[in-house]
Structure formats: C-alpha cells, structure tokens
Amino acid sequence: IAGITQAPTSQILAAGRRMTLRCTQDMRHNAMYWYRQDLGLGLRLIHYSNTAGTTGKGEVPDGYSVSRANTDDFPLTLASAVPSQTSVYFCASSAQQGSEAFFGQGTRLTVV
Amino acid sequence: GIQVEQSPPDLILQEGANSTLRCNFSDSVNNLQWFHQNPWGQLINLFYIPSGTKQNGRLSATTVATERYSLLYISSSQTTDSGVYFCASTGANNLFFGTGTRLTVIP
C-alpha cells in the first residue's frame, strides 16, 4: 500500500544518546515535513524539505537535524536527546508545498 | 504564522446525533485540511477543501475562504467517530494546526 512509513514505532532513549527517526514515502512527493505532537500544543513543524537536496527550519528546530538526499527519504536526527524531546513525531509529505499533506503513523519517543 | 482556532474544544455526543465543528483562521489561506486522529494516534485525511463544500458519506465540510472559516459536519455519529478532529491551513512551508476538537461518541 502506497504511503508513508516511519520507524521505529516507539522508542525509549537515554538522555544524551543520538537517535535517527526514519521516514520513507513512495508517492514521489516533492515536499516532506517533520512534526512533533505534544499534549495541549497540537502539531508543530520541526523541519521541512520542499524538494530533494533542500531543507528548512520550522517552528521548533533546535536539537534536531534533517537531510534529504533523495525524494523518498527524510530522516530526523536528535544529536543528543533531552527529556523535553519526549513526544510523538509525525512525518508527512505532499506533492508540492501547499498541496494536500499525508501523514505517517507516528513514532512515540520517550527520553529518560 | 497563521493562527487557527477550533471550537468546541470538547464534545460529547450520543450515538446517532449530529454535530458541527468549526475552524477559524487568521489570514487568507490557499488550502485547508481536516484530519481525524483516531484513538490509536493515526492522522486520517478527511477533506482537502480550500473553498466550497465536499461530502464523504456521513461527513461533509464547507470552507468560506473570504470569511476565514471552515465547518465540519458529522451526521448520525457512531462510536468509531470518536477521537480528535484537527483543521490545518497552509502557510509558507507549513501546515498550521489548530488544537483540535475532542469528540466522544457514547453508545
């Protein structure tokens, strides 16, 4: 089934460790996004990429980095995890910036 | 960025009842989406509706872009409709989400 796949589904991580959340889409969408969802705050954009080879910062980029080496993959890296990064992370994609967005199933990350 | 306000924040319905959820946004937008986040956390696309009215089964949505609001109608609600409903509007490189309406449908 075409769509967006995130991995892992959930993870418990020790503070200070490095972690990469994976996101792959098979819809050949140009734009991809990473959001975090926290209780009471809705979804907030971390980083985005409008096309392969380009990335940009969203509302809450500190502590996170991304890369977009090809169209399909958009990994999110936490270089040194902190407890405030405990959240549910969603990857999304759209054919182009501003068109209908589709979301992955999410990654629940707990930093202890 | 664009401010998105949703109302009501919480809604409890008896199965079979109808409801209207509202989304107000602070600036003109090129598009608007409605999502349902089910109890398992999945975000399900309901409507992509920059303007006008769309219907899908028991759900329909209307966006009046000139007045900066969108409405989601749920008719004959079912327990499987429970969850959080989000609207989101597109700004520069971002979907701006409201904080959602939590719907609970009781049998």
Contacts of B30 in chain A (CB under 8 A): 98
Q: Give per-residue pLDDT as tens, A20-54.
A: 999 999 999 999 999 999 987 789 999 999 999 99
Q: HSE (CB half, 13 Å, CA atoms) of B31?
A: 17
For residue B21, is pLDDT > 90?
yes
Handedness of CA A89, A94, A97, A100 (dihedral sign): negative
Contact check, Cβ <8 Å, B95/A101: yes
pLDDT band at B84 (very low <50, low <70, confident <90, very high): very high
- Subunit contact B90:A48, Cβ cutoff 8 A: no
Rounded to an integer, what distance in angstroms lies between the CA atom of residue A22 and that of residue A11? 12
Q: CB A58 to CB B93 under 8 A? A: yes
Looking at beta carbons, which residues of chain B come within 8 Å of A48? 93-94
Question: With contacts defined as CB-CB under 8 Å, which chain A residues touch B97?
Answer: 42-44
Select from A42, A50, A88 the Cβ nearest to the Cβ of B98: A42
Confidence band, pLDDT 50/70/90 cuts, at residue B94: confident
Work out the pLDDT band at A1, boundaries 50, 70, 90.
low
Residue with tokens 């967006």: A4
Instruction: Give me the pLDDT at residue A2, please.
Output: 66
What average pLDDT does this structure show over A11-27? 98
Mean pLDDT of B26-44: 89
Torsion of CA B32, B36, B37, B40, to 10 degrees: -150
Percent of chain B with pLDDT over 90: 75
| Segment A66-91 mean pLDDT | 98
Cβ pair A102:B45 closer than 8 A: yes
Q: Is B95 on the interface with A (CB under 8 A)?
A: yes
Kindly tell me if the per-residue pLDDT of B45 is higher than 60.
yes
- Of all residues in chain A, what percent carry a pLDDT higher than 90? 91
Tokens of B82: 């429970």
CA geometry: angle at A39 spanning B56 and A75, to 5°?
80
pLDDT band at B90 (very low <50, low <70, confident <90, very high): confident
Q: Is the peptide bond before A8 cis (omega within 30 degrees of 0)?
A: yes
Residue of A33, A73, A71 whose CA lies nearest to A51: A71
Average pLDDT over residues B13-18: 97
